[in-house]
Amino acid sequence: MSNLASARSILAEVAEIVRPPRRLTVPEAAERHVVLDIPGGYQGPWSNDLTHYMVEPAQRLSSRECEAVIFVGPAQSAKTQALIDNWIAHSIVADPGDMTVIQTAQDTARDYSRRRVDRLIAASPDLRARLRPGQDDNTHDKTFSSGMILSLGWPSKNQLAGRAIGRMALTDYDRMPEDIGGEGSAFDLARKRTTTFLSRGMTCAESSPSRPVRDPKWRRKTPHEAPPTSGILGLYNTGDRRRLYGKCPCCGEYFTPEAGPEAAMIPDDGSIDSRAERAQLICTASGCLISQSDERKFKRSARWLKEGQTIGSDGVVSGEGRRSRRASFWMPGWFAAFQSWRSIIANYLHAIDNYERTGDEEPLKSVINTDMAAPYLYKAQQDDTRDGGYLSERAEPSERFVVPEGVRTLIGVVDVQAGKKSSRDAKKRARFEVAIIGYGERGERWLIDRYPITDVDPAARIEDWDKVTEKVVNATYRLEGGRELRVHRAGVDLGGKAGVSERAYEWWRGLKRAGLGNRVRLVKGEKRAVGRIRETYPDSSSRKDRRSGGRGDVPVILVNGNQVKDAVYADLQRESPGPGYVHFPDWLPGRYYDELTAEQRTEKGWEPIPGRPNETFDLFVYAAALWLYLKGDKINWAAPPSWAAPMERNANVMTKDERREMKTQPRPTTRGRRARFRFN
């Protein structure tokens, strides 16, 4: 059989190449040519009916009046299918032209290619017939009979710079880096690649919002304005700002609900499921409440309005909309076709419950961002307090060095300040800042002691670390009846001035030789850590450019500073004793309260306020990290471990004689070495 192509096949391919564009919009082409085959899900031709709210945004993709389409929406709204997948199909069958889809990372681009694009083409006969087989069909590039090339990439300088591409799609935009290799945002780089195509160039970005609000005091100036932030909502503000309106079944007026939880009236009584089932949407036109029995009717009435337009109860739109060559859309989760109000509110209430128990805001942020398509304002940003006076008002009468009732275990934490030993300014002097924090049931805690260890040089003198062993690791505090409670775990800051890490590693090795290694963990902040904490064994021995002292033998707890600080801040705001509440003694100097409020939540995360010491806040964060490491948040208080048991059977309770014996035992050998200095 001949391998040569037939004249008929050659003619068909040439015809496909020279065929003029068909006058179909993206939604029209999708209904004619897209077939879905989702394993375990829907199988059949695409219909615009269920996700009717996506028709107008998708129509703008083929409009020469627009240079960009920007869509802010929740998960479970079919935004990726309608704007990205269907646009690919339109480009293949109706208006061939090179197109690039940028995913959040290389592995997600590969997954998108296999799970969505390959399945889309395989299930849709009209798309499959136009795909060139063999080497023209691979994971990141697909070529079609028209000559069109579909590329699937990720946000990098190489992927977003260089050759001109007429159609650029950015999916899950807020999960991409804000700056790509110092060249600017992914959207700006993508848009530059379409400029040579003039009015035929198009850039599309879609995402649920996840970037933090920059100004917590922001107040909306126009009805459709989004808060000042970067990412997808920042792009939305640059466009014509279209919001989705629904018709109230009670008063008959159209209104746009708020995107966040303030849009709903949620009962205060009952279980989470019961409260979610009885929740109602608030009509901002008249104040009436829309029950969930009218949810489908409300969603079906949805209409898009630009900033400046109004709509009457008869559905007639009037007014001149905001003018922009960027068509921008913001759809709250209350209109999503594949998620009910009950589900959204139940997820929100579960996240609130988790926050109240743990102080962790991330699940709450996730629900508000992805389920509701609303920006999130961290609790710390909502509080404009800048000194610790309000915390000092909670101080309780307390005798120093005595363990208060309710404490089950003691955690000692040390922040290393490797300044100049001889500095006249105490704030710049080398020292160990120490806090002893007692934990009780369900994370309730008491500040037991707070002091500095001075006349030390942590970066140069290993023998100075023996003071931490004596005053923190082996510290005890008085109980009733002449007994004492020993510190269960100590956490020591790893980092700062050159030499500190090396001394810290050396000190811990000495503790291990003395049988104390299990009582101490080095702690290091890491904003990009996965989860709240994780344990690692750093090894820099093979790197000549680093002298940290890590050889893979010393355990270090890496702390996600933003998440753990969110939780600590939330606990500091609790106003009554109970889970998570922080008790302060009346002897604590005022400067330590101020240190607890010396950081602020910004769009980049927690950052120190210039000129304000923040050591006490850091110490509480280290203690919280150790508590998580000990799985204190998961303790069954009906049967706690021996180190968290009541004092009559607590493993860390000792007599004075036992304490004296412990103190007289040989100190751990640190094999001290003087710091080496090199003069250039």
DSSP 199: G
Average pLDDT for residues 493-504, to the nearest whole number?
84
Radius of gyration of the chain measured on its C-alpha atoms: 31
Side by side, the strands of the sheet bearing 520-525 are 533-536, 556-559, 520-525, 489-493, 409-417, 431-439, 445-453, 582-583
Residue 524 pairs with which residues in a beta bridge? Answer: 558
pLDDT per residue as tens digits for the range 286-312? 999 999 999 999 999 999 999 999 999
DSSP 146: T
Q: Say yes or no to pLDDT of 498 above 80.
A: no
Q: What element of type H or E holds 18? A: helix 7-18
Question: Is the sign of the CA dihedral 103, 107, 109, 115 positive or negative?
Answer: negative
Q: Say yes or no to pLDDT of 137 above 90.
A: no
pLDDT band for 428, please (50, 70, 90 cuts): confident
Q: Say yes or no to pLDDT of 241 above 80.
A: yes
pLDDT for position 139: 85
Tokens at residue 434, please? 């120490």
pLDDT per residue as tens digits for the range 193-206? 999 999 999 999 99
pLDDT band for 674, please (50, 70, 90 cuts): very low
Domains and CATH numbers, the chain: 27-207 (3.40.50.300), 388-661 (3.30.420)
Decide the pairing of beta strands 202-207 and 68-72. parallel
Residue type, 179: D
Q: Hey, is 667 helix, strand or coil?
A: coil
List Cβ<8 Å contacts ≥24 apart for 319-325.
321/240, 321/242, 322/224, 322/240, 322/241, 323/240, 324/238, 324/239, 324/240, 325/65, 325/66, 325/67, 325/68
pLDDT per residue as tens digits for the range 336-371? 999 999 999 999 999 999 998 888 899 999 999 999
Per the listing, tokens 């100590």 go with 490
Q: Say yes or no to pLDDT of 644 above 50.
A: yes
pLDDT for position 672: 47
Q: What element of type H or E holds 413? A: strand 409-417
Residue 335, Cβ density class (10 Å: 0-12 exposed, 13-18 middle, ≥19 buried): buried
pLDDT band for 605, please (50, 70, 90 cuts): confident
Cα(596)–Cα(526) distance, integer angstroms: 20
pLDDT per residue as tens digits for the range 167-191? 999 999 999 999 998 889 999 999 9
Cα(570)–Cα(566) distance, integer angstroms: 6
Q: What value does the mean pLDDT of the chain take?
A: 90
